[in-house]
Structure 1
């Protein structure tokens, strides 16, 4: 099974990978996203849907350096306010990146667990899939961006 060590992620202005790129010392992937605690299920989802500002940083080769993650509110508390707070925070963080340029990036899989939620680029293998090329994919959590062969930087949502 062919699992790439790093994968490209295409910068798409005005869409889900609008805030990715390079800066002095490496690369970054930033987003405003919602996450549920791992393993949670149920009907009362509004208080469990937690909003975050997220900034992952990587070295030039794509290895994960660190993640800055900050909770800004739940959907039950007011989704618009939580998203607006996360957007404002993310703008501050991005403005502080020296030499920031929005563009394609190339990163390796990584995992960060924060407040019971999974953040990262995770390798997933589907042993039920007959075509070996289709068995491996990578999912960017909690943003739900799926990457697969031919590993050209495009993604599914």
Structure 2
């Protein structure tokens, strides 16, 4: 089974995909998440763990049309405050989407880089040695930086 052109994402209230759905302009995937710069390495992870509000927008067919991303602070500066600020900001953005409704979506892979961090739904090949040969080894899509993995049978469910 190959990766579909648009990947279904199941809406799960009270969980990681509680803020996805459709609006007058198409579809959206919104979240509060932490991001590390791609080139970061070292021990001072709290200073590099940046919390942010993220709103990805897609047309009705699932193609990426834009992202709004804003960092609200690092874990070193105070994780609770940074997360609270990101949630408040995301709430404002979601409230501004005309005819918003939370539901399942289907979106095409995309990548956005913001201040050195990767955001997007990225196709990946994985080494699944030892698994049964069902024709799907190595095919997946990962939502960055949220850490949601999508796999065959491509039914909208995900792993964290």
**Matching residue of 1:44:** 44
Tell me the SS of whatever aligns to 2:73.
strand
- After superposition, the Cα gap between the structure-2 partners of 1:128 and 1:16, relative to the gap in structure 1 and judged at 3 Å, is closer
Which ranges in structure 1 are unaligned for 5 or more consecutive residues?
A: none
**Matching residue of 2:157:** 154
Cα deviation, 1:52-92, whole Å, max 9, x if unaligned, reads 10000000000000000001000000000000000000000
Cα deviation, 1:20-56, whole Å, max 9, x if unaligned, reads 0000020000000001011322211000000110000
Q: 1:4, CA displacement in angstroms?
A: 1.4
TM-align CA RMSD:
1.2
1:32-111 paired onto structure 2 within 5 Å: 32-111=32-111
**Matching residue of 1:145:** 148
Tell me the SS of whatever aligns to 1:65.
strand
**When the two structures are superposed, what TM-score results if normalisation uses the length of structure 1?**
0.96
Structure 2 counterpart of 1:135, from 134, 138, 141: 138
**When the two structures are superposed, what TM-score results if normalisation uses the length of structure 2?**
0.94
Tell me the SS of whatever aligns to 2:14.
coil
Q: 1:127, CA displacement in angstroms?
A: 5.1
